[in-house]
Amino acid sequence: MIDHFTLKVRDGAKARAFYAAALAPLGYEVLMEFEGSYGLGAEKKPDLWIVQDPENTRPMHFAFVARNRAAVDAFHRAALAAGGKDNGAPGLRPQYHPTYYGAFVLDDDGHNVEAVCHRPE
């Protein structure tokens, strides 16, 4: 089980605003802040840390579990409204498994952010 991970970004304040808005439908909020870094989580402690580090920003892919398909849809809408770029509209991805329902958005740094629900409708 993963305790937390760190995402390096070029502009910490901009990334904080994007992730706070995009992940709100999944229950995430900013729980901690330090100079140049922000901890977000859906529980009592952060599991996603955003750190401003422009020299070491490298695009990556990561996915968040959504409790249902409506939350995947809401994530996608919120992420686009917050400035993300569509990288895969909400929908079934049967090539992964029959009930894999996901949506993908690129953030300002090129990170491919996904919300996924594995449950049947």
Contacts within 8 Å (CB) and 24+ apart, 97-105: 101/69, 101/72, 102/63, 102/72, 103/72, 103/73, 103/75, 103/76, 105/22, 105/75, 105/76, 105/79, 105/80
CATH topology of domain 5-117: 2,3-Dihydroxybiphenyl 1,2-Dioxygenase; domain 1 (3.10.180)
Residue 36 pLDDT? 85
Segment 26-66, tens digit of pLDDT: 999 999 999 889 999 999 999 999 999 999 999 999 999 99
pTM of full prediction above 0.85: yes
Amino acid residing at 118: H
Q: How far apart are CA 104 and CA 61, in angstroms?
A: 9
- The mean per-residue pLDDT over the stretch 17-28 comes to 98
- The mean per-residue pLDDT over the stretch 58-75 comes to 97
For the chain, domain boundaries: 5-117
